[in-house]
């Protein structure tokens, strides 16, 4: 018996060897570390590109029957990305579920390390050691940014989120971190008035493109990978280099 990140008791029966991941970040993390363990993942689990496992629909609407049919000895979920209702229904059906809580870079590193050690009986993989070394020391603020994640209605990254902490550690000050809520609603004019040097437009969850997003702002914009801003796991290594190279 072990506790997941939310303190729930997880009745592990030894190291998990059939894993269904309902979290794209953790799918990539497990696939990069022990790919033979994965038997199922969501439709949103796009990395690695050659991942060949059974798909169980989305993060917010997983096909619970399909999950159960895979006979996993562990399902990996996340407090923010997955619904408590789905976790409860799986547990009520006798499925073992490990829920992660990741709202900072430090939490991401610690949570994944414990998942590997406790639930999968694995040592920290090389990519995790690299991510820990790269993100160990925050750098001084050097650029002010805003990060929309949706439009119609417009929403941005706020405080108390993994992305906000990642940006801060990379020296990118989130000018909208003082707004109420983790993903506050704003207008493009409010973003422009907030004083960012650049507005970062990721390609997920909303797919901003050169023709869909930049026209809404007078502040300079930059298209960026949403995966590097929001995915913990191997993406953290890539994100460090990309964000360090970012200029206004």
Q: Give pLDDT, residue 93.
A: 98
- Note the pLDDT tens digit of each residue in 91-127: 999 999 999 999 999 999 999 999 999 999 999 999 9
CATH number of the domain at 224, please. 3.40.50.1980
Answer whether residue 240 shows pLDDT above 80. yes
Shared-domain flag, residues 50 and 89: yes
For the segment 133-171, what is each residue's pLDDT rounded down to a tens digit?
999 988 999 999 999 999 999 999 999 999 999 999 999
Instruction: Say yes or no: 6 and 124 in one domain.
Output: yes
| 65 in a structural domain | yes
With a cut of 80, say whether residue 248 has pLDDT above it. no
Q: How far is CA 174 from CA 81, 139, 163, 177, in A?
A: 22, 14, 10, 5
138 within some domain: no
* pLDDT over 90 at 191, yes or no: yes
Clarify whether residues 72 and 171 are in a common domain.
no
- Residues 120 and 59 reside in one and the same domain: yes
For position 1, what pLDDT does the model report?
80
Q: Residues 6 or more apart from 9 whose CB is under 8 A from it?
A: 1, 2, 3
The structure tokens 């704003």 sit at 186
**Which structural domain, as residue segments, surrounds residue 188?**
143-244
Beta bridge partners of 156: 148
- What does residue 78 show for φ and ψ, rounded to 5 degrees? -140, 140
Contact 221, 214 (CB under 8 A): yes
Looking at the predicted structure, is the pLDDT value of residue 6 above 80?
A: yes
How far, in whole angstroms, is CA 149 from its chain's centroid?
13
As a whole number of angstroms, the distance between CA 31 and CA 41 comes to 10
C-beta separation of 214 from 201 below 8 A: yes
Residue after which a domain boundary falls, among 100, 133, 166: 133
Task: Please check whether residues 107 and 160 belong to one and the same domain.
Answer: no
Same domain for 34 and 128, yes or no, is: yes
Q: Number of structural domains, the chain?
A: 2
Q: Check whether residue 159 and residue 99 sit in a common domain.
A: no
């Amino acid at each position: 018996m072990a506790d997941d990140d939310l303190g729930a008791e997880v009745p592990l029966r030894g190291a998990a060897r059939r894993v269904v991941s309902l979290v794209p970040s953790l799918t990539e993390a497990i696939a990069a570390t022990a790919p033979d363990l994965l038997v199922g993942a969501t439709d949103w689990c796009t990395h690695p590109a050659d991942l060949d496992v059974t798909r169980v629909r989305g993060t917010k609407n997983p096909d619970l029957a399909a999950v159960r049919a895979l006979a996993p000895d562990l399902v990996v979920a996340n407090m923010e990305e997955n619904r408590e209702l789905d976790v409860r229904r799986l547990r009520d059906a006798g499925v073992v579920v490990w829920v992660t809580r990741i709202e900072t870079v430090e939490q991401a590193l610690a949570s994944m390390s414990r998942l590997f050690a406790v639930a999968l009986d694995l040592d920290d993989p090389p990519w995790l050691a690299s991510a820990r070394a790269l993100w160990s020391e925050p750098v001084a603020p050097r650029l002010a940014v805003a990060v929309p994640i949706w439009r119609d209605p417009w929403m941005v990254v706020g405080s108390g989120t993994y992305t906000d902490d990642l940006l801060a550690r990379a020296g990118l000050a989130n000018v909208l971190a003082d707004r109420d809520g983790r993903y506050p609603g704003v207008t493009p004019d409010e973003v422009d008035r907030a004083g960012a040097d650049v507005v970062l437009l990721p390609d997920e969850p909303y797919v901003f493109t050169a023709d869909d997003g930049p026209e809404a702002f007078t502040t300079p914009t930059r298209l960026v990978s949403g995966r590097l801003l929001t995915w913990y796991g191997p993406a953290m290594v890539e994100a460090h280099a990309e964000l360090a190279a970012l200029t206004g």
